[in-house]
Structure 1
Amino acid sequence: MKKIIIPLMTLLFIGCGDEPLPKPKGYLRLQYPEAKYTKVNIPLPFTFDKNKTTSPVKNIKSSGAVKGIDIQYPSMKATIYLTYQKIRNNNLDSLLRDAQNLTQKHTIKADEIASNLFENKKSNTYGMLYEIGGDAASQSQFYLTDSINHFISGSLYFYAKPNYDSIYPASEYLKKDIERLMESLKWKE
């Protein structure tokens, strides 16, 4: 009986070992400073609040009726690109269609695109914020308008190959800055 039990127990102990598993990829846990905002007064017909951790807004690019500014986040290697256009000859439909089409171009790589309607009747500002999930080039797109004179579109881009898991914390942090920009935007005219 001992001759059977000892080899059986030996096989039982040897056979019950854990199989080696590959170690999963790890991602850094990134924490960002609490956002503090300051009002930006630029030579365009609107003002807004921006995060103090961004580079100063200096250069206003102009191409005919289109003007643009960049809000850079050097520590995150990200930029929010803003484009301003004056509404002319009832071209609001065209501007809205262009902004929506730009967002839809990301459907090739996006896992989802969620849209959030924005309305601030007090400052006469209306728009949409698109949150783009997945390995798309841009994680957020938005537009704002007063429906009569002004139209602003914006996009968030990172200077890195899109890996949604890696840039998700930064994208969420910057989404709050975009929401603050949209909420604080005021037309000068």
Structure 2
Amino acid sequence: MRRRWPVMLMLVIVGCGNNNFNPKPKGFNRIDLNPSAYQVLADSFPFQMEYSTQAKILKDSSWIAERYWFDLYYEKLGANIQVTYKPVKNDRDLLEEYLMDSYRLTSEHKVKAYAIDESVITLNNGIKATIMELSGEVPTQFQFHVTDSAQHFLRCALYFKTATQNDSLRPVINYVKMDMLHMLNTLTWDQ
């Protein structure tokens, strides 16, 4: 018993020797959002729209990627908008397949989403779009698809590559959502 005391006393002295401990104050991530500014998409696509100057176009590198698939990557925000375009070719069955794929991809998030709100809106340019807003700790919070029912089908989905809770990301989600709505409102199809 007596031999343990010197060892324990030494541990206590060494362990308590550092008095520089300061608890960190509670805080929130600082998110600086620049004023929105837009640029026109290159004319090599079968559609035109304006997208944020904060975003970089990255070619979709997935093995299933098609010619007009790309990502709009917001490096500072850790946000990514996946843009997928498919030609419809006046084929109703093909259009139905694209629409079903869009709904299937959205519904895959039902596991974590506690709500999926869908609405059809008429844009400033007269085009109708289907918008899906997902609530909960889901990797995608905002998606849309739009078609002219004859030649064009476009789907976009917002993703974040972060473990940050969505309530903390709310300002960024709303910021990018406004950019996505601007994309929709400036969308035109090439004939």
Shorter-chain TM-score above 0.5? yes
Separation in 1, partners of 2:112, 2:154: 25
Separation in 1, partners of 2:164, 2:132: 17
2:41 is paired with a residue of what secondary structure? strand
> Residues 113 and 58 (structure 1 numbering): CA distance in 2 closer, same or farther, change over 3 Å?
closer
Q: Which runs of 5+ in 1 are unaligned?
A: 1-23
Separation in 1, partners of 2:180, 2:79: 13
Q: How far did residue 29 of structure 1 move?
A: 5.1
Between Structure 1 and Structure 2, how many residues are aligned?
165
Separation in 1, partners of 2:108, 2:58: 30
Q: How far did residue 133 of structure 1 move?
A: 1.2
Give the structure 2 partner of residue 139 of structure 1: 141
TM-score by length of 2: 0.76
The alignment's C-alpha RMSD in Å is 2.5
TM-score by length of 1: 0.77
Give the structure 2 partner of residue 8 of structure 1: none
What aligned pairs does 1:148-167 form with structure 2 within 5 A after superposition? 148-161=150-163, 163-167=165-169
Q: Which runs of 5+ in 2 are unaligned?
A: 1-24
> Residues 133 and 102 (structure 1 numbering): CA distance in 2 closer, same or farther, change over 3 Å?
same
Give the structure 1 partner of residue 81 of structure 2: 80
Q: How far did residue 96 of structure 1 move?
A: 0.8
1:76 is paired with a residue of what secondary structure? coil
Higher strand share: 1
Q: Do the aligned residues in 2 keep the contact of 1:65 with 1:86 (CA within 8 Å)?
A: no
What aligned pairs does 1:1-189 form with structure 2 within 5 A after superposition? 26-28=27-29, 30-55=31-56, 57=57, 59=59, 67-88=68-89, 89-90=91-92, 91-120=94-123, 122=125, 125-161=127-163, 163-189=165-191
- AA paired with 2:150? I
Q: How far did residue 116 of structure 1 move?
A: 2.5
Separation in 2, partners of 1:27, 1:121: 37
Q: How far did residue 78 of structure 1 move?
A: 1.0
Separation in 2, partners of 1:25, 1:93: 50
